Amino acid sequence: MESMKLTEIASALGADPENYTAAEITGVTLDSREAGEGSLFIAVKGDRFDAHDFVPDVLARGAAAVCERKIDGASPDRVIYVPDTRRALLRLAKYYRAKFDIPVVGLTGSVGKTTTKEMVAAVLSQKYKTLATQGNFNNEIGLPKMCFKLDSSYEAAVFEMGMSGFGEISRLTDTARPTIGIITNIGVSHIEMLGSREGILKAKMEILEGMPDSAPLIINGDNDLLPKGVEGIPNPVVVCGITCKEADCRAENIRQLQDSMSFVINYRGSRYDVNLPAVGMHNVYNACIAFACGMLLNVTPEQAVRGLSEYVPTGMRQKIVRKNGITVIEDCYNASPDSIKASLRVLRDLDCSRRIAVLGDMKELGSYSRAAHLECGAEAAANGTDVLLAYGPEAAAYVEGAEGKIPTALHFDDKRELVMKLCSMLREGDAVLFKASRAMKLEEAIESVYEVIGE
């Protein structure tokens, strides 16, 4: 972060600067342990703690603070009072972001946000020093934190925006002020809060609220709702896809190799060979979007192709591991119907003798949960899964959804029993997909299986 005077921060937050010291602030934090001389501590109430309790302590260590409630005995020239500290965090981040006249890519979607963000960053980094959202800093706390990481050395930024209800993307886009928007797709994540897929579309389209009319919006044109959803918007729309009629950026000649996807990107009539070190058609879509974003920002096609070839999958998102003749797809970071279907297709397209899907519960689907699990069970059957091992209370519906069309389909409440069953049947040539919501901790099962099958 570039330093700001406390007086400047006060005025950005609507307080009278005259009342404050001109102390230099070089960092904004919500963590009292990090706060000291030169930092601004924003007291945000969490689930377990009210950060206001730590304010006397951070002030004693030389920090300044932003608070909602009166702090007894605090020196008034270092505490800025606001009605809502969460809103103040966004407001200050917006003010700070506006200091940088650089391209900012704002990215949202039901699935594929983090992957696409990483691919966009890989492409843009070929030409620009690029700041990209770290980890899952994509909400009303995380996005401001990322904005404060900007400094004058950065030439571009990519900010991921997540949401679970209406109004969140609106506040995030108002803070980040994207000069390019991306919507990866409209699926069913968070449908409980938004009522319907049309509701999800509406919530994602809020991204336009923080963008000037001239700022392009990149979409996946093969999504069933997005092309209609963008009809009539003032912004230029850049369409990426594989099957849709009119795409600006289209993937052709797609082949799934052992650990990568090989395809040709046809960008407005010019063709470029791409080798992407990640598998699955969903990643081809993500890559097309990243390529198109690069083109909008004058990255050369050759640089964009190189950026995609250097993409490194992060965290527990879809990693393919081979051990003793068995192929394992580790994909335990999260799960939604869209991402389960994408992973089942990856399993289908793998070169192997038997396809085993270990699927745990998908969480946060509310009343849609049972239908979603049934649907994914049917999808497993339709994609040639030979063995389905379902784990968790909701997961029984996967087995039901498969309707006897998968030769072996079993449900487990106990992870150890599942692991024992799986290990007893595994043989050379098998491919195993592990996929579940984060809360199911399916990676523990993977570890146990590795102990048995060895290196």
Q: Which is nearer to ligand ADP, 125 or 133 (CB)?
A: 133
Q: Which of 175, 286, 327, 437 binds ligand ADP (CB under 6 A)?
A: 286
Q: Which is nearer to ligand ADP, 91 or 345 (CB)?
A: 345
| Residue 282 is a binding residue for ligand ADP (CB under 6 A) | yes
Candidates 9-17, 320-328, 339-347, 401-409; binding stretch for ligand ADP (CB under 6 A): 339-347
Q: Which is nearer to ligand ADP, 125 or 343 (CB)?
A: 343
Give, as ranges, the residues between 25 and 84 that touch ligand ADP (CB under 6 A). Answer: none
DSSP state of 33: G
Residue 257, both tokens: 């190799």
Q: Which is nearer to ligand ADP, 185 or 256 (CB)?
A: 185
| Residue 133 is a binding residue for ligand ADP (CB under 6 A) | no
- What are the φ and ψ backbone dihedral angles of 360, each rounded to 5 degrees? -100, 180
DSSP state of 232: T
What angle in degrees, to the nearest 10, is found between the helix axes of 113-124 and 301-309? Answer: 130
139: buried, middle or exposed (CB in 10 Å: 19+, 13-18, 0-12)? Answer: middle
Give residue 51's Cα distance to chain centre.
27
Among the residues of 248-296, which ranges form H helices? 281-296
SS3 percent helix, strand, coil of the chain, rounded to 5, is 40, 20, 40
Q: Which of 295, 342, 388, 389 binds ligand ADP (CB under 6 A)?
A: 342
β-pairing, 217-220 vs 180-183, is parallel
Q: Which of 85, 175, 185, 437 binds ligand ADP (CB under 6 A)?
A: 185
CB of 355 to ligand ADP, least distance (A): 16
Q: Which is nearer to ligand ADP, 106 or 112 (CB)?
A: 112
Name all contacts of 40-47 with Cβ < 8 Å and 24+ positions apart. 40/6, 40/9, 40/64, 40/65, 40/66, 41/65, 41/66, 42/66, 42/85, 42/88, 42/89, 42/92, 43/67, 43/68, 43/85, 44/85, 44/86, 44/89, 44/141, 45/85
CB of 434 to ligand ADP, least distance (A): 11
CB of 341 to ligand ADP, least distance (A): 7
| Residue 130 is a binding residue for ligand ADP (CB under 6 A) | no
Size of residue set near ligand ADP by CB under 6 A = 19
CB of 315 to ligand ADP, least distance (A): 8
DSSP state of 341: H
- What are the φ and ψ backbone dihedral angles of 395, each rounded to 5 degrees? -70, -15
Q: Which of 113, 250, 348, 354 binds ligand ADP (CB under 6 A)?
A: 113
Q: Is 181 helix (H, G, I), strand (E, B) or coil?
A: strand
Q: Which is nearer to ligand ADP, 4 or 182 (CB)?
A: 182
CB of 195 to ligand ADP, least distance (A): 20
Q: Which of 126, 339, 369, 385 binds ligand ADP (CB under 6 A)?
A: 339
β-pairing, 354-360 vs 387-391, is parallel
| Whole-number CA gyration radius for the chain | 24
Q: Which of 333, 391, 398, 434 binds ligand ADP (CB under 6 A)?
A: 333
CB of 99 to ligand ADP, least distance (A): 28
| Residue 168 is a binding residue for ligand ADP (CB under 6 A) | no
CB of 287 to ligand ADP, least distance (A): 10
β-pairing, 156-160 vs 130-132, is parallel
Residue 307, both tokens: 């950026």
| Residue 317 is a binding residue for ligand ADP (CB under 6 A) | yes
| Residue 256 is a binding residue for ligand ADP (CB under 6 A) | no
| Residue 115 is a binding residue for ligand ADP (CB under 6 A) | yes
* Residue numbers at the binding site for ligand ADP (CB under 6 A): 111-115, 184-185, 282, 285-286, 317-318, 331, 333-334, 338-339, 342-343
